[in-house]
Amino acid sequence: MQEKFYLTTAIDYVNGAPHIGHAYEKILADVIIRHKRQLTDNAYMLTGTDEHGIKIQKTAAQKGMTPQELCDENFAKFEQAWKELEISYDQIIRTTDEKHKKVVKQIFKKLYENGDIYKNSYTGLYCAGCETFLNPKDLTQDGLCPVHMKKPEEVKEENYFFRLSKYKEKIADYIKSHPDFIQPSVRVNEILNQLESIEDISVSRTKASVQWGIGVEGDDTQTIYVWIDALSNYITAIGYDIDNPSEQFKNLWPCNVHVIGKDIIKFHSIYWSAILMSLGLDLANSIFAHGWITIDQSKMSKSLGNVIAPHDVLQAFKLEKPDAFRYYMASAALSGKDGNYSDEDFKEKVNADLANNIGNLLNRTLNMLVKYFDGEIKSEFISDKNSKIAVLAENAKKQVIEHFNHFEIAEASNVIVAFADAVNKYVTDNAPWTLAKEGKMIECGQVLYNTLEAMRYIAILIHPYCPNISADILLQLNEDVNFKYDKLTWGNIKEGKITEKDKIKPVFLRLDSEFATDKKKV
């Protein structure tokens, strides 16, 4: 069993409802943490919501609500979405939580006392969407924010600044000496290039500009800005305190991985690293920056009307359980690359992989076991770990673990599907129906045993993606629903009766409903 594993996601901004992009990240994170729970009893997942700032303030005003009312309303939508998708987080933090606000004030004060925060007047280009000041060189040729494609406003304020430039060399050295820190590794040069021109950053806004936030203690003109407020959730949630950190914090920190979108990797790898260095805390072991999800090859946009809510995909395809959607999203893009959602591809992929490949393989094998052997495994059917199919199963397990070690979630799913393909080919090549017709019953039973034991491997390997389907497979094999990897050795299915005709049910039905319509759009 491995040691502790602490995973965090980005915290979602609650000025709107959750969409498929939010779901993509949370599913990736949940697949990772479920896998790690197969390896350790000390795995912990944190997610949350970012509830302060000018966007919340403005949106609430437009709706005739208080900022807290808006936060409460949208937090409930995120909480419900993660419940429907069976996101198995251990904790969900809100930056409006009193404990969080108290410790954020402590952190700001500590950074100030360390000489890393100072007050200064500043004129800069501010993007409200990014909630950050941009350098002119960061803008497009038309002078727009490259992420939100809007012109930033010129802001002149007296704010508190964090001496980010003080830590640029130390962060660069850390990145170079820790090759697993930024993943995928193609992002490393991007961050190192950004470090070369890094400047000190504003860590407060005037209350005249932003009222909705945590106030700076001792200065009632200033509101603590997002970089110290939001980023600190990773430590405040698990009990960080300047003077008396909790046992949970001591057990879980440093974080094993921050799972975030590629658009905020700079803030996590540079800003957050510098804050941790100033506090004298260890940096996270890894920052995994995933890509974006497009809709029918177009970036999601309210103006295009293609912003999809995950709830509506489940409804459109009449999915009582989220396994198919979870599997599709988690396998949508190779590590760090962008992925795409379309109704047609969703239907085709889950039908091919989950219904035709895995589900049909289990169903027909169990039916043959009933037909030829009354659902019973005989001792002479059981093969050892050196059989060809057993070696394939062990190799698949090793490859899946290796991919997960590098947060290659889609790559790991491809290994599982390829193994299922190989098992299907094994059944076709060995034709147990022909062996039975020829009276070669021991050979027939051996093929069926090997196939069912391979199905047990598939059930455990695919569990992080499809928790309900995997449990159903094990139940149909008359096996304990235990997904731990220390149980994943060849030969676990023992002799005896494991099934009857009326107990064999499809573990996943094909998606043959009509494609989702624009009713699903938010």
- Is 19 catalytic? The answer is yes
- Is 444 catalytic? The answer is no
- Amino acid of residue 33: I
Q: Please check the confidence at residue 366 and state whether its pLDDT lies above 80.
A: yes
Q: Please check the confidence at residue 42 and state whether its pLDDT lies above 80.
A: yes
The active-site residue, picked from 35, 52, 55, 127, is: 127
CB 94 within 8 A of CB 214: no
Residue 96: closest CA among 80, 113, 73: 73
- Is 127 catalytic? The answer is yes
CB 43 within 8 A of CB 64: no
The active-site residue, picked from 83, 178, 299, 487, is: 299
- Is 22 catalytic? The answer is yes
State mean pLDDT over 133-148: 80
* CA–CA separation, 502 and 362 (whole Å): 15
* CA–CA separation, 224 and 212 (whole Å): 10
The active-site residue, picked from 36, 52, 55, 145, is: 145
Domains of the chain, residue spans: 349-503
pLDDT for the residue 514: 42
Q: Name the CATH code of domain 349-503 (choices 1.10.10.200, 1.10.3720.10, 1.10.760.10, 1.10.730.10).
A: 1.10.730.10
- Is 148 catalytic? The answer is yes
What's the pLDDT tens digit per position in 260-274?
999 999 999 999 999
CB 25 within 8 A of CB 9: yes
Q: Please check the confidence at residue 303 and state whether its pLDDT lies above 70.
A: no
**pTM score, two decimals?**
0.92
What's the pLDDT tens digit per position in 89-118?
999 999 999 999 999 999 999 999 999 999
pLDDT for the residue 122: 78
The active-site residue, picked from 178, 302, 318, 385, is: 302
What's the pLDDT tens digit per position in 309-325?
999 999 999 999 999 99
- Is 145 catalytic? The answer is yes
pLDDT for the residue 124: 76
The active-site residue, picked from 130, 255, 444, 466, is: 130
Query: Max CA-CA distance within the chain?
Result: 89
What's the pLDDT tens digit per position in 276-287?
999 999 999 999
- Is 463 catalytic? The answer is no
Q: Please check the confidence at residue 153 and state whether its pLDDT lies above 70.
A: yes
Q: Is 91 helix (H, G, I), strand (E, B) or coil?
A: strand
